[in-house]
């Protein structure tokens, strides 16, 4: 567990374009550049996606397997781990380290359904029980 924490600290945060690739890989699992290019919603050329994924390997965001004829890429960290790192970074940079201010900012930024609010309350209750 400590090794993963150290790994997460050493890996750079993904850019918006890199997050799109990561989301594709999290949804599809290990994939070739062609698979990612086809699944991408952006009108980006194949060689641009290839270069971006190569850079992501260098940054530690992706792993590349050379066992197959085509290289297969996969995310090095789970989606939840990456989301936690991004949230931690955002809390520090934009909300002065306050999780409360982050939550208030998120809730006031867009309309939240009563069902979502109920789910948030339930999750906060579970979180509080787990912290005791």
Residue 25 pLDDT > 80, yes or no? yes
Query: 130: pLDDT confidence band, cut at 50, 70 and 90?
Result: confident
Predicted confidence at residue 23, as pLDDT, reads 97
Q: Say yes or no to pLDDT of 28 above 80.
A: yes
CA atoms within 13 A on the CB side of 130: 6
Distance, CA of 97 to CA of 120 (rounded, Å): 20
d(CA 9, CA 30): 23
Asked if 76 contacts 64 with a C-beta cutoff of 8 angstroms, the reply is no
User: 64 has which bridge partners?
Assistant: 73
What pLDDT was estimated at residue 5? 47
Residues 6+ apart with CB under 8 A from 57: 63, 64, 73
Domain definitions of the chain by residue range: 2-79, 97-132
Closest alpha carbon to 49 in 38, 60, 64? 38
Residue 63: what pLDDT?
A: 95
pLDDT of residue 7: 46
Q: Above 60 in pLDDT, residue 13?
A: yes
The answer to whether 95 and 105 are in contact (CB under 8 A) is yes
pLDDT in tens, 78-103: 999 999 999 999 999 999 999 999 99
**Domain 2-79 class in CATH:** mainly alpha
Look at residue 1 in the predicted model and tell me its pLDDT: 40
pLDDT of residue 9: 53
């Amino acid at each position: 567990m400590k090794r993963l924490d150290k790994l997460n600290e050493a890996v750079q945060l993904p850019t918006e374009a890199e997050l799109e690739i990561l989301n594709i890989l999290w949804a599809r699992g290990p994939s070739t550049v062609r698979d990612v290019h086809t699944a991408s919603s952006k009108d980006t050329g194949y060689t641009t996606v290839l270069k971006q994924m190569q850079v992501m390997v260098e940054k530690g965001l992706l792993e590349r397997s050379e066992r197959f004829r085509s290289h297969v890429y996969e995310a090095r960290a789970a989606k939840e781990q990456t989301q936690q790192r991004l949230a931690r970074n955002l809390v520090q940079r934009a909300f002065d380290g306050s999780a409360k201010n982050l939550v208030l900012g998120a809730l006031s930024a867009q309309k939240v359904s009563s069902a979502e609010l109920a789910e948030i309350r339930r999750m906060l209750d579970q979180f509080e029980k787990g912290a005791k």
